[in-house]
A and B are shown apart, each in its own frame.
Chain A
Amino acid sequence: MPVRPDEENGAPRWVKISVIVAVAVVVVFLVVLIVGSGQHGPGRHTPGGPSEPAPDTAGSHTGPPPGVGHGDE
């Protein structure tokens, strides 16, 4: 693929814009995370909120599929 003259001195414009957008998204995400007191993760989604421990699953466990380990066990 031939190199265009405007590519000789650095990244093309679409790359620069994409990087700016990606950084902006990450910053917004971090701000939301900080404002939300860092509440993000599996515990947040259980009834009762983030402070409640994972429910006892003995006898009622539907998964994981055989041979597949859970990261939270």
Chain B
Amino acid sequence: MTLLMSPRLRKAALTAHVTSSVGWLGAVAAFLALAVVGLTSTDAETVRAVYLVAEPLTWFLILPLAFGSLVTGLVQSLGTTWGLFRHYWVIFKLGINLFAATVLLLYTQTVSLLARVAAESNADLRELQGPTFVLHSAAALLLLVTATFLAVYKPRGMTRYGRRKQRELGRVGR
């Protein structure tokens, strides 16, 4: 059974979903830019600043936007005729979102740990300069761009469940 939203509510839910999803993508892009600076800079204070600012950026922006995107995406699919398991592109997008949000949640440990190390006055910042931020944020960006592509192009393909539901709706509509 699907509880369909009214057109006004659907627009509001769609706005919230697009805002949080694109915001998440933008925040990850900002993180990647910082990560590149942190990896390539030769100035110790700049490197320290990057690792320190990465933590609030992750906790206050990336994480809330990620889970905002996940929740609004679920609302959007369950409250419209798109459904959650009727179209392959919706399933793929949900999978990408769940995977990225889970890895992000686990990765907050690394971000916080590196921020604490950077805060140490005697920390050797050259040892801190690993590619982890660049690799993780670049991979996340790739996934989020793929999810955006799926949302915009909505490639064809209905699941067996989706086709059955469509036939049922067709019968009801007659």
Residue of B52, B105, B108 touching A62 (CB-CB under 8 A) = B52
A interface secondary structure, majority: loop
Q: Are A60 and B116 in touch, CB under 8 angstroms?
A: yes
**Cβ–Cβ contact B55 & A62, under 8 A:** yes
Interface residues of B in 75-121 (CB under 8 A from A): 88, 92, 105-106, 108-110, 112-121
Please name all residues of chain A whose beta carbon is closer than 8 Å to the beta carbon of B128 when the two chains form the complex: 45, 47
B116: A residues at CB distance < 8 A: 54-55, 57, 60-63
Q: Are B163 and A42 touching (Cβ within 8 A)? A: no
Contact present for B132 and A60 (CB under 8 Å): no
Instruction: Report how far A60 CA is from B119 CA in the complex, Å.
Output: 6
Q: Is there a chain B Cβ closer than 8 Å to A18's Cβ?
A: yes
From B4-12, B38-46, B151-159, the one touching the partner chain is: B151-159
Report, as a range, how many residues of chain A touch the other chain: 20 to 34
Contacts of A19-56 to chain B: CB distance below 8 A = 41-42, 44-48, 54-55
Pick from B88, B105, B106, B130: contact of A11, CB under 8 Å: B88
CA distance A11 to B89 in the complex (A): 11
Cross-chain contact B56 with A65 (CB below 8 angstroms): yes
Contact A63/B55 with A7-B158, A12-B88, A47-B124 known, Cβ cut-off 8 Å: yes
Interface presence of B15 (CB below 8 A): no
Task: List 9 A-B residue pairs with CB atoms under 8 Å apart, sorted by A's residue number.
Answer: A7-B156, A12-B155, A15-B157, A54-B116, A55-B117, A63-B55, A63-B115, A70-B108, A70-B109
A: residues with CB less than 8 A from B are: 1, 3-4, 7-8, 11-12, 14-15, 18, 41-42, 44-48, 54-55, 57, 60-65, 68, 70-72
